[in-house]
Structure 1
Amino acid sequence: MKKDTHQFIQKYKGIAAFGMDRANDEETIMFYLQKFSEDAFMKTLLPRLSDQELEEIYNWVNTYLKKHISEDEYHGLFLKDR
């Protein structure tokens, strides 16, 4: 059974433009991150990143996870290991 889903991007009809209002900004971020995380795109981008760039992305994600997500949410929503 699949644990991971990107359902939002399949149905999104918005304009993916940042800076209009909070709701549109959130939708745009979700749109960008789901497009960004596509396997084919990642296979193209990741080999082009330096070791430092990889570390920066990893640290950025972890910083926001630790700041805004509880331990239970981390395991249940992010890792889906519960």
Structure 2
Amino acid sequence: MAAHAHRFIEEFEGFIGFGLNRESDMDTVIYYLQKFSDDQLMALLRKRLTDEERQSIFDLLSGLLRKHLSEPEYHRYFLKDNH
């Protein structure tokens, strides 16, 4: 069985749009992140992103993980290991 899942993007049937309310904002963020991480899209973007863009994406994501996850949560939910 695959360790990673992107079921939200496959099953979501609600409103996608930002700025209406917190719930639809979060749905939209999840939707965009799952679409953004699609293997085919990443294969295309990885050739086009500048060094600065790659660094910005990495800094944003790693900063959010450090801010909002404990060490055990980081290992369980992000790394998918039983550290």
Tell me the TM-score normalized by structure 2.
Answer: 0.94
Inter-partner Cα distance in structure 1 for 2:11 and 2:62: 28
Tell me what 2:67 maps to: 67
Whichever residue aligns with residue 71 of structure 1, its letter is E
How many angstroms does 1:81 deviate by?
Answer: 1.1
How many angstroms does 1:14 deviate by?
Answer: 1.4
The 5 A counterparts of 1:1-82 are 1-82=1-82
Describe the SS at the equivalent of 1:63: helix
How many angstroms does 1:53 deviate by?
Answer: 1.2
Whichever residue aligns with residue 10 of structure 2, its letter is Q
How many angstroms does 1:51 deviate by?
Answer: 1.3
Alignment: residue pair count: 82
How many angstroms does 1:22 deviate by?
Answer: 0.7
Inter-partner Cα distance in structure 1 for 2:29 and 2:52: 24
Q: Which structure is higher in helix share?
A: 1
Indicate the RMSD between aligned Cα atoms, in angstroms: 0.8
Superposed structure 1 runs of 4+ greater than 6 Å apart = none
Unaligned runs of at least 5 residues, structure 2: none
Describe the SS at the equivalent of 2:47: helix
Inter-partner Cα distance in structure 2 for 1:81 and 1:51: 29
How many angstroms does 1:80 deviate by?
Answer: 0.2
How many angstroms does 1:15 deviate by?
Answer: 2.2
